[in-house]
Structure formats: C-alpha cells, structure tokens
Structure 1
Amino acid sequence: MTLTLPPAEAARELVEPVLREAVDRLDARAARVARYHFGWVDEAGRPAAAGGKALRPTLAVLSGRAAGAGLDGCLPAAAAVELVHAFSLLHDDVMDDDPVRRHRPAAWTVFGRSAAILCGNALLTVAGDLLLEQGTQGHVEAARALNRATLSLVAGQALDLEFQDRGDVTLDECLLMSRHKTASLLACACSIGVTAAGGPAALTEALTGFGTEAGLAFQLADDLLGIWGRAEQTGKPVLSDLRTRKKSLPVVAALTGGTPAGHRLAGLLARPEPLAEADLHDAARLIEEAGGRAWAEREAARRLDAATRHLANADLPPDVRDEFLHIARFLASRDH
C-alpha cells in the first residue's frame, strides 16, 4: 500500500534508516568512515548525534509530495541524493585540506585521505544502486538525473580547484562554478521525487528551475558566512575562506569591481607568505569596502526572487509550495 508523505520536517527521520541500510552494504572500513561522516558515531565508533540538517532529502521528499508520490518510491530517491552529497563533501574536504566539518574533525583527518576518498566512491556507487533496484522507469530516469547532477557537481569542483591558481577569475566564471558545484545537486533534489514518480515534465522543469536559483542563493549565503560568519555558526574558524584565499563570490565581486579597495585586496591576496590574522581582517574590510559583501547580499535576494517565480505557476499543493519557499528563504538568509 502506498503511504501518504508526511510534512517535510519528518524527512530526516524517515530517510535516515534508508541511509543506514545503504551504509551497511559497504565494507567495514568504508562503513566506519561513513558512519562518522554522517554524524552517527564518534571517532571511536561510539553513538553520536552530529549530523547535518538533511536539506536535500527534505527537498526530495517535498518533490515527491508535489507529484502525489508515496514513501515507498520517494525515500530511496531522497537517500540517494544525500549519499551523493556525502560523497562530494568527503572528497571536497580532502581536496581543500579542510580540517573541520560540522564542528568536528573532518573524516580525512581521522581516518586518512585515502580512506575518505574510497568511502566517498563507495557512497556514490550505492546511491545509484538505491534507485536502479527499485525497478521502475521513473527510478531509472531519476538515476540518470542524479548522474547528470553529479557530473555537473564534479565539473564545478574542478573549476573551484582551477580558480585557486588563477588571479583573473571573472564573476561570470565564479557564478558558473557555483551553479555546477552547489546548485546542480540542489536542483536535482527539488525535482527527483517528481521524476521517480513519473510525474509531469512541466513540474520537473519548474522545480529544477526553483532549485537552481535557490542553490545559487544558498551558495551566496554560504560564501558570506565563510568570511563574516562566526565559528559557532559555521563550524569552522572565523575568516576561514580568506585563510585559504578561496575565490568565493564576494571575493571575486570585490576583485573585479574596479575599485581602489579591490586593487589593494588583490595585492594582499597575492602575497606568497601565509596571511597573518591582521591581514585576514584587512582583507574582509577591503572586500566590504569594494562592494563585494553588498553585491553578494543583493544577488542572494535576486536569486531568491527568481526561485519564487519558478514556483508561482507550478501545479503543486499549496502547502508544498509554502514549504519549498520556507526552505528557500532559510537557504538565502541563513545565519547558522
């Protein structure tokens, strides 16, 4: 019997058993890393509660509700999206030498780089299995959609890495990177429930457009937190993105704005030696003075408006529309 999907707030509790079953399929070493990365256990394998907010599974469940789907078809799709997200974070932390994830040591610092990479590979493989083993045409199409999103995500990460060695990154290039790296998977999460249920193409298109714009708003908010967020908000050291000289959107907006402050910022970031604490604060001040912060805040609001317009004429239940909009507003203005 097909069950009616519950409100989005319950998505994490519903998806977690599916995720745990998927992790149980892994070999013991990879499973240990995955359980730690998902926040279910600590470094010694003892039970813990340090997971993320499960935004993507929530969006996937909502998209299933939008198409009138039931739990039996929606939860594998929601879990698959979260598995791909976990894969991306495991690899991202290794490539960026990022030592912290969700207020805890990143998995690679605990288990080693190779173990984290192999665990990510395993999670990506299991994500596809979850969808294909459902045996419906909708789930086959959902697997294809998730593969396309994953390829886009990988392309975005490649651009992000390339930008580290370039001093001429344009704002359009930076937006393209964010569209690939962040917005593609979020857009997939917003529409994969419809795809898995064999829902109408027009609804899939509307929710994909919504997710793309909401994903860009999310990245802009994340980039603002990466410079001006507090450690208790982000789970990372203050000014973390400036410590690594990340070419985030506010930074690139400041560097390409043609202002005196932007030129001084470029000189500061081009120094070969590590930046001192005072330099980091100077860089944050220069980004703001050059207009990078204000541009990112305006652009996040503009992307949120665009996301809202995608939902305006979509044929979906009013309560589902409201929940999508609530999540989009959280993504665009989050302070935690």
Structure 2
Amino acid sequence: MTSPTTATPAPAVPPAPAVPPAPAVSVPDVPDVLGRCRALVRPALADAVAQLHPWTGEMAAYAFGWCDVGGAPASGASEGKGVRQALAVLGAEAAGADGGAAVGGAVAVELVHAFSLLHDDIMDGDGTRRQRETVWKAYGIGPAVLAGDALFALAVQTLAGTPGPRTAAAVRRLCATLAELVRGQAEDLLLEDRPWTGPGAVRPDEYRSVAERKTGSLLGCAAALGGLLGGAPEETVTALDRAGRHLGVAFQAVDDLLGVRGDPAVTGKPVHGDLRRRKKTRPVLAALAGDGPAARELAALLDSSFRLDDAAAARAAVLVEEAGGNAATVEEARSHLDAARACLRGVPLARSAARDIDALIAFLLHRAV
C-alpha cells in the first residue's frame, strides 16, 4: 500500500420481446463515435477529479488510466470504452441539442461507474482490471473504499452544479439509479450462496433482474440524462432509459461471455477468472439449465469442494460451450439489443444521433460474436 502523495493533475428489465432486427451498422464507425464523445467529456471529467483530495484524486486518476501509482502519467493504460459517457452525449443529440448540454450528466455517470468498479473489485477479490492492478491491490482496501466514496459524492455534486432548468430532475434520476445499482450489487452477492442446481438454483429471470440493476440501470440513466438535459420530452427520456437498460443487460451478457471465452489481452482480466471463483454468470447458468452430460459434469465440477485450478477452469469453459451456455448468452444479447432498437424506433430522434446509437448497438453484438 502506498502512502498519500501529492497527485499530478489529471490530464486536460423484463425479458426482451422478439422484434425484427434493424439493418446492420458498420462497426468500424464506433471508435469515431466513442472518441468524439470522449473528447467532449474528458476535460470536464479531469476538472471534476482535480477537485478531490490529492490522494483520492490520484487513486481516481489511476482508476481512469491517467496515471500510475505515485501520480506519474500512465504509459499506455486503458481508459475503458467510454460507452456510458457516449450514451449521455448521444442522448442529448438525439433530442436535437448540442452534445455539450449533456457533459455534466456524462461526467456524473462516468464517476458513478468508476466508483462501482472500485468497490466491485474489492467485493469480488479481482486483482486485475484493464491489464494492471486494481486500485485496491495497488493502494490497499481502505484507500480504495475511500476513493470510491469520493467518486460517489463527486458524481452527485457535479450533476447538482450543472446549470439548467432540469438539474433537479437529473439529480433525482441519478440518485434513484445509485440506489438501484447498490440493490443490484447486493442481490449479486446473495447469488453466490445459492446452489447451482435444484429448487434453490438461480432462475434466469432473477439473474436478468440483477443484470438490469447492476449494469442496465446506469446505461439507461446515462442515455436518459442526456435526453433530459438536452430538453427531450418525457416520452423520449423514457425511451432512452429503456433502451439503455436493454443495452445494459446485453452488455452484461457479453461481459459474462468474455469471462468464459475471452482473450485476456482484450478483456484485461485473467482468463477464466469468473469460473475459478465459481461466479454465477449467464453462460454458466444457461449451461446448467440443460440436462445433457456436459451440464451434469459442469454441475458436479462446480459443486465440488476442491479449488478450480487452470486445468479445471479450462474444462469448465469447455463444458459451458458444449452445454449450450455460450450460444444461449449470445442469443440473450441479440434479443436485448434488438429490443433497445425497438425502444428507439418508437420515438422521434435526430437522425445522426440515432445512427450513432445504432452503431454502438452493433458494436456490442460484434463483441459477443
């Protein structure tokens, strides 16, 4: 654990209905969309982090990939995809406003997301994120909890200071989302003690509810805050929120899938980490829903008392694939992405923003397949 240092300033839902898929959007467009939105939000995000105590500010900058331990500028660290801040900007643009109207909301959701990752890594015992040590591994558990708390408070403070007639409504929406996110994390932790099979096993609808609260609520909030701050009517704000929630469930499904078969160079996490921890994820639960030999062997492996080493975790990954867990997860993601598109087609949106949002949807599906 490092001691406090003076920080270097930071650089300037229910089951998805079946709907016809929209025309495919070129995935290579997505880096441009994310980059444009990041360029708009990043200066304000850095300014917000600079308001923190130097020590918590350094940990926040480390979490964002801006610096190394000690505050020196990071060399090649990942800043993440930036999907949430992009949804906020695009939500405002979808309402016909300039994306700058949503910057306060975009900063707030990025801060909340960072807070949730800091605390989530501690609860899950994850020592690696984005190919380097997590904050709690680099600084210690106590400091990481404190940094998460600081980011939580800063998110509300930042949004409350955003000028405009809809600020109060935006703060209320963010606070409701924070409560929902915490509830989802509580439910996720409780799933760990549930049996893999039998009457007490986790049902698909229960897991979907957790995914919507843990991941979908913040993506829905991001898009809705953009629309709200951009002056969208309530019907459009609601549609953006619902679309974001479906995106979140799909996003979680894809992340779960990458935890089973993902490349650590892409995911930034150790291969088969979720399987080693016997974490209840969508592919595993879908695989166990079958009654074939692969599902039975997987259940016996997960129910065993011995530690899952590399070989056992690799075998579990093979069994998940053979039992149909990966295919079912891809289908789940497809279904919710199509549902997100359906939500957005139900309200009038600015054409360019609608195209960019659809590109993000295609990007998420591309990650899954």
Q: TM-score range by the shorter chain?
A: over 0.9
Give the counterpart of 1:36 among 42, 62, 79.
Answer: 62
What corresponds to 1:80 in structure 2?
108
164-173 or 64-73, which moves further after superposition?
64-73
Cross-structure match for 1:3: none
Letter in 1 for 2:53: D
The answer as to whether partners of 1:11 and 1:57 remain within 8 angstroms in 2 is: yes
CA offsets 1:267-297 (integer angstroms, 9 cap, x no match): 1011222112221121111112221111111
1:118 counterpart SS class: helix
> How far apart are the structure 1 equivalents of 2:353 and 2:251?
20
**Any residues of structure 2 matched to 1:50-61 within 5 Å, and which?**
50=77, 51-61=79-89
Against the structure 1 CA distance between its residues 7 and 290, is the aligned structure 2 distance closer, same or farther, given a 3 Å change threshold? closer
Deviations 1:226-249 (A, max 9, x none): 000011111111112101111000
* Aligned-pair CA distance for 1:71: 5.0
- Counterpart of 1:258 in structure 2 is 291
Greater CA drift, 12-21 or 326-335: 326-335
Partner Cα separation in structure 2 for residue 278 and residue 236 of structure 1:
17
Quote how far apart the aligned CAs of 1:135 are: 4.3
Aligned pairs (5 A) from 1:92-131: 92-131=120-159
SS at 2:166's partner residue? helix
Q: Distance in 1 between matches of 2:100 and 2:223?
A: 18
Give the residue type in structure 2 aligned to 1:13: A
1:67 aligned partner, one-letter code: A
Q: Please list every run of 5 or more consecutive structure 2 residues that lacks an aligned counterpart in the other structure.
A: 1-31, 196-200
Secondary structure of the structure 2 residue equivalent to 1:334: helix
In 2, are the aligned partners of 1:183 and 1:211 still within 8 Å (CA)? yes
Is there any run of 5+ residues in structure 1 with no aligned partner, and where?
1-5
Q: How far apart are the structure 2 equivalents of 1:170 and 1:269?
A: 17
Structure 2 residue 368 is the aligned partner of structure 1 residue 327:
no
Q: Is the contact between residue 287 and residue 324 of structure 2 (CA under 8 Å) also seen in structure 1?
A: yes
Identify the match of residue 276 of structure 1 among 296, 306, 309. 309
Query: Which amino acid letter does the alignment assign opposite residue 12 of structure 1?
Result: R
Regions of 4+ moved over 6 Å = none
Report if aligned partners of 1:183, 1:212 keep a CA contact under 8 Å in 2.
yes
For 2:85 and 2:308, the matched residues in 1 are separated by 38
Letter in 1 for 2:112: V
Amino acid at match of 1:292: G
- Residues 8-37 of structure 1: CA deviation (Å, up to 9, x unaligned): 531112211111111111112211110111
Say whether 1:298 aligns with 2:326. no
- Aligned with residue 141 of structure 1, among 165, 169, 179: 169
Q: CA deviation at 1:260?
A: 3.2
Greater RCO, 1 or 2 (C-alpha within 8 Å, sep 6+)? 2
Between the aligned partners of 2:150 and 2:90, the Cα distance in structure 1 is: 27
Mean CA deviation greater in 22-31 or 32-41: 22-31
Say whether residues 1:10 and 2:10 are aligned partners: no
Q: What is the CA deviation profile of residues 142-176 of structure 1, one whole-angstrom value per residue up to 9, with x for unaligned ones?
A: 11111111111111111111111111211111111
2:51 maps to what in 1? Answer: 25
Q: Distance in 2 between matches of 1:90 and 1:156?
A: 16
* Shift in Å, 1:321: 0.7
Q: CA deviation at 1:95?
A: 0.5
- TM-score, scaled relative to structure 2: 0.86
Q: How many pairs are equivalent?
A: 331
Query: Bigger shift: 32-41 or 307-316?
Result: 307-316
